[in-house]
Structure 1
Amino acid sequence: MTIKRIVLVILTVLAIALIGQDLLASWSQPQFQSRLELYQTNLVLQATEWQGDDPGLVSVRKGIIGAEPVQGATKQYQELRQSAQKNLERTQLLLASPTADPSLKVSTPKLERLITELDLRLGVLQVQQGQTATAQKTWAGVIQQTDGKANLETLSKTAGVLAGLWSDPPRLFPDAEQTLKQNLDSWFRYRSLAQLYKLQQRQDALTDLQAAQQATAERALTNLAIVGGIPTISGLLGTVILLFLLGQWVVRRKQSLLAPEGIAAWTVPWDGEIVWQVLIFGFFLVGQILLPLGLGVFQQAAGFNPATLSERARALYILVNYLLLAAGGLAVLYFSIKTFLPLPDGWFQVKLRSRWFLWGLGGYFAALPLVILISLVNQKIWQGQGGSNPILPIALEGKDQGAFVLFCITAAIAAPIFEEILFRGFLLPSLTRYMPVWGAIVLSSFIFALAHLSLSEVLPLMTLGIVLGFVYSRSRNLLASMLLHSLWNSGTLLSLFVLGSSTQ
């Protein structure tokens, strides 16, 4: 066995261990999708306050909000609260084990805080439905559960303020307004402040609040139309495309677009060791070992912590980090296949004069209903756990438009170029040396999904990867899969930006 193979074996074992550890750690982390749904629910609650007479917005309001928005929001908050409680109990059981992962200790206070925040808002929703006694019990439970916990002291105080506002007779705290503004947001803040101003008989403040809320509610309707309307229309188009492909396969079989016989394999000049080498050296060694070590040394020498950076600086840091990963991975790929140049026809093709745009756009539409369906099943499996891409919460909560642009460059330009070259341009065709094209599409998609290191994202990303692989295999043009990938990431970021800015 050569020295290179020995190193590859050692790094492979290390890769399996570290990737397995990352995936296991993601199991105890909440899914980002649950948080995103809450943001959308809060947007719906904001929209319920709109009292305008614009005919267009009136029809939009009826279609988007539904008949009982407050009851629907209450149900969603209760379901998330139950899920968070189960995860907290599960985490506490794991921590009781002598072999418990130390990283789980960080999850416990986060889950406790999440449950407390949900209870505060559930109380406001219950009051809105006339269930004042139930709301008082909810807030009393918050005060009891947070007793003696310094990290939850401000939330406990907020529960006391809320209970006082809706008690009989009311109890007003001196700093009630500041407490509500600091610890509640969106519709919940508006409802609480409106009750406070009424009790304080501050008519001017109440009038200003209502005027601001009307403007917010109108924006919420517009944003809901964007967040819900675009995916809905795209999903319907995608469903039509999928039905067409299925019908074509039923009628034409071997001559259909989905037929395996219609997708030609590539001529692969290298063996599996080159594939192994690129994945281990180019993706794992660079991304999981060399780059983190190099950045760690640089941070220590420069004396800065990325967590303390401003939003724009942190977004730039993430972009630079990704560009270094891509540069290292592509360098390994180039030097691994350099001896096989020039490559046979069909490798890494980028053809401007072809139907790549139609393939990419059609693939995006087709991927939407498939990934949405798989995501619904996935949520039932993981029950709100399994982790998510760490960039998503940062993008959701960001207020800096410059930072948002940098996130777009990372997710909608850099990531599609690098990942499509590696996973579709190299890995998928290389696997056709050992298996049929459809098998290569599925296996490369699974590896693509695992590379994102979040258990809850494996099934949705694998589904997306299969569509990406099909589009590339049929179009034989990397521009098609890059466009699909870019549209997908851009759509996600647009939703995050709209939802985040609405809540803020």
Structure 2
Amino acid sequence: MKRIILAILTVLTLIPLLSSLWGSFQEPQIQGRLELYQTNLVLQAAEYDRNSAATTSPEAIATLVEELTGADPYGTAIKQYASVLSSSKENLALFQKQDTTATQQATAKKIVETEALINELHLKLGILYAAANQTATAQEQWQAIPTDDSIYAPLVEVLEPLWIEGNAPENTANILGDRLETWFRQQNLQQFFKVTDSPEDLALIQQSIQEAAQQAFFKLTVVTILPFSVGIFGFGFLIFLLIQFARKRQEALLFADSSTAWETPWDGEIIWQVFIVGFFFVGQILLPLALPVLLQSFELNPSGWAVREKAAYTLATYAMMAIAGLVVLAASIWKFRPLPKDWFQVKWLDNWTVWGLGGYMVALPLVLIVSLINQQIWQGQGGSNPILFLALQAQDQVALTIFFITASIMAPLYEEIMFRGFLLPSLTRYMPVWGSILLSAFLFAIAHLSLSEVLPLMTLGIILGFVYTKSKNLLAPMLLHSLWNSGTLLSLFILGS
């Protein structure tokens, strides 16, 4: 009877799981948006003027800025925006083909959002071309925006005469306002003050441009140079490990055989039970069905909440999922106490920090390489974790703190207990250690429900599994997982700002 119930729950779990994965196939990745945010930072930093910047070492900063922004930042930005525009148009065509009743409402929302993004990209591409003195091409981009667009059409009405004809219609400054990101807004205002012959205002906006350029330089340093430096060290360390493995084999750090396996007192049915009931059924079916009903009873609608409320909702949902999963895990293995040696070990007085930091340094270049290959495979599709979009848009300290608690504390604790603490060792009863690491990493990646993230997350999962296998201390993969998520959140915060 128990196995029949588990079989039914498995089918019930697989339906929404596969549906979510298929749905993610038709969703855009966050990577394209991140690249545009970083492009905007590059554009800001490229405005650095060593002659007008108030700094003690303008030459040194100018040299670093040139290295970070490249020889032709405008040309690079135009290519990047044009690439995202092209993929967005492809997405729109795909959405417009989806006219089934079941997906009509969701698809209609995607169509509206994608059309707005396309108009935004046309507008910004026009400003980029205009700033690069290609006004005819700029006008082509602006004329692609429908005249009935309430957000961007009014901007086009003042941008065309401002950049092409050299005059400023009435209320130009008010219309420009704060609708665009820093670089685009500053370029428009600088052109406006040139056209209206306002030297004092022009001097102020140019000073503001230099301040923004210096801030962008330091932000780019954090999101590029620091990870790159750590990644180079990690890549060198990885090469050392491979050479050591080739020469020493069984004595090498990368070597893992049956001697590193765990003694597992339970069979595959317990593994099945913990993950189907505790992880997937509760997390993918029970909570998604129960929470909307509960919120509706209190007349609450999360779609209309601010980012702070959405962050708190994400934390509460994840906490409930984690508690339920751990309760099922504890109940499933309770009768096998006392557990054999090395199960769920947490050893504070150990070298877990070395394993965690070392694993993080190796993970950076490996996941980056896999991600670059992955982008070529998915071409901007495949979906992304929804929390990434929220964190990217969140410039609220309370919301960011809540996201940090969720992603950098709770997720490493819960997911490492489930995937490395329980699943990986349990699998060593049926397969070699490396096979267990690979399978647990694959399930770890699938559990995040985004097709485009499977390969990068599986790579991270393999490193997490190896670190745990060698350290036999849950603190090591927890530290690595926390560092990874913290670095991601920090990058999102900097790019979003």
Q: 1:263 to 1:197 in 2, by over 3 A?
A: farther
Matched residue, 1:17: 15
Give how far 1:499 is off.
1.4
Match 2:179 to one of 146, 169, 183 = 183
How far apart, CA to CA, are the structure 2 residues paired with 1:96 and 1:366? 45
How far apart, CA to CA, are the structure 2 residues paired with 1:199 and 1:274? 74
Q: 1:329 to 1:175 in 2, by over 3 A?
A: farther
Matched residue, 1:256: 252
How far apart, CA to CA, are the structure 1 residues paired with 2:119 and 2:17? 33
Q: Please say if 1:108 is aligned against 2:111.
A: yes
Q: Please say if 1:155 is aligned against 2:152.
A: yes
Give how far 1:165 is off.
1.1
Match 1:353 to one of 337, 349, 353 = 349
Give how far 1:387 is off.
0.8
Match 1:469 to one of 444, 457, 465 = 465
Match 2:36 to one of 35, 38, 42 = 38
| 3-state DSSP of counterpart to 1:103 | helix
How far apart, CA to CA, are the structure 2 residues paired with 1:230 and 1:326? 33
Match 2:140 to one of 137, 140, 150 = 137
Matched residue, 1:167: 164
| 3-state DSSP of counterpart to 1:428 | helix
Contact 1:441 1:470 in 2 (8 A): yes
How far apart, CA to CA, are the structure 1 residues paired with 2:389 and 2:249? 44
How far apart, CA to CA, are the structure 2 residues paired with 1:342 and 1:179? 71
Contact 1:408 1:490 in 2 (8 A): yes
Give how far 1:97 is off.
6.5
How far apart, CA to CA, are the structure 2 residues paired with 1:39 and 1:212? 19
| 3-state DSSP of counterpart to 1:153 | coil
How far apart, CA to CA, are the structure 2 residues paired with 1:164 and 1:15? 58
Task: Please give the per-residue CA displacement for 1:472-498, whole angstroms capped at 9, x wherever unaligned.
Answer: 001111000000000000000111111
| 3-state DSSP of counterpart to 2:164 | coil
Match 2:94 to one of 90, 94, 100 = 90
Contact 2:194 2:202 in 1 (8 A): yes
How far apart, CA to CA, are the structure 2 residues paired with 1:178 and 1:39? 25
Q: 1:49 to 1:62 in 2, by over 3 A?
A: same
How far apart, CA to CA, are the structure 1 residues paired with 2:108 and 2:436? 40
Contact 2:26 2:381 in 1 (8 A): yes
Which has the higher mean CA deviation after the structures are superposed, 248-257 or 430-439?
248-257
How far apart, CA to CA, are the structure 2 residues paired with 1:67 and 1:337? 61
Task: Please give the per-residue CA displacement for 1:134-181, whole angstroms capped at 9, x wherever unaligned.
Answer: 111111122xxx245xxx3221222232212122253x3434323323
Contact 2:416 2:477 in 1 (8 A): yes
Give how far 1:398 is off.
1.1
Give how far 1:432 is off.
0.9
Which has the higher mean CA deviation after the structures are superposed, 292-301 or 343-352?
292-301
How far apart, CA to CA, are the structure 2 residues paired with 1:192 and 1:263? 66
Q: 1:101 to 1:483 in 2, by over 3 A?
A: farther
Contact 1:139 1:160 in 2 (8 A): no
Matched residue, 1:29: 27
Structure 2 matches for 1:230-249, cutoff 5 A? Answer: 230-249=226-245
Q: Please say if 1:376 is aligned against 2:372.
A: yes
Matched residue, 1:305: 301
Matched residue, 2:433: 437
| 3-state DSSP of counterpart to 1:31 | coil
Give how far 1:273 is off.
0.7
Give how far 1:31 is off.
0.5
Q: Please say if 1:446 is aligned against 2:462.
A: no
How far apart, CA to CA, are the structure 1 residues paired with 2:9 and 2:210? 59
Contact 1:60 1:225 in 2 (8 A): no
Matched residue, 2:64: 60
Match 2:322 to one of 296, 321, 326 = 326
How far apart, CA to CA, are the structure 1 residues paired with 2:301 and 2:200? 45
How far apart, CA to CA, are the structure 2 residues paired with 1:109 and 1:417? 39
Match 2:388 to one of 392, 397, 416 = 392
Matched residue, 2:3: 5
Matched residue, 1:197: 193
Match 1:123 to one of 123, 126, 132 = 126
Contact 2:404 2:489 in 1 (8 A): yes
Which has the higher mean CA deviation after the structures are superposed, 208-217 or 17-26?
208-217
Task: Please give the per-residue CA displacement for 1:458-479, whole angstroms capped at 9, x wherever unaligned.
Answer: 1100110000000000111100
Number of residue equivalences: 491
Task: Please give the per-residue CA displacement for 1:279-320, whole angstroms capped at 9, x wherever unaligned.
Answer: 111112221222233322331232222233333232222112
Q: Which amino acid aligns with 1:220?
A: A
Give how far 1:340 is off.
0.5
Contact 1:28 1:104 in 2 (8 A): no
Contact 1:469 1:481 in 2 (8 A): yes
Q: Which amino acid aligns with 2:297?
A: A
How far apart, CA to CA, are the structure 1 residues paired with 2:448 and 2:107? 20
How far apart, CA to CA, are the structure 1 residues paired with 2:494 and 2:249? 43
Task: Please give the per-residue CA displacement for 1:99-126, whole angstroms capped at 9, x wherever unaligned.
Answer: 8676333322222221111111111111
Q: Please say if 1:288 is aligned against 2:288.
A: no
Contact 2:47 2:209 in 1 (8 A): yes
Which structure 1 segments of 5+ residues have no match? none
How far apart, CA to CA, are the structure 2 residues paired with 1:96 and 1:302? 33
How far apart, CA to CA, are the structure 2 residues paired with 1:263 and 1:226? 42
Contact 2:17 2:284 in 1 (8 A): no
| 3-state DSSP of counterpart to 2:150 | helix
Q: Please say if 1:487 is aligned against 2:483.
A: yes
Which has the higher mean CA deviation after the structures are superposed, 65-74 or 461-470?
65-74
How far apart, CA to CA, are the structure 1 residues paired with 2:304 and 2:205? 34
Matched residue, 2:75: 71
Give how far 1:396 is off.
1.2
Give how far 1:321 is off.
1.4
| 3-state DSSP of counterpart to 1:303 | coil
Contact 1:158 1:183 in 2 (8 A): no
| 3-state DSSP of counterpart to 2:264 | coil
How far apart, CA to CA, are the structure 1 residues paired with 2:192 and 2:59? 33
Contact 1:254 1:262 in 2 (8 A): no
How far apart, CA to CA, are the structure 2 residues paired with 1:177 and 1:446? 53
Task: Please give the per-residue CA displacement for 1:431-464, whole angstroms capped at 9, x wherever unaligned.
Answer: 1111111111111111111111111111100110
Give how far 1:195 is off.
1.2
Q: Which amino acid aligns with 1:7?
A: I
Q: 1:158 to 1:254 in 2, by over 3 A?
A: same
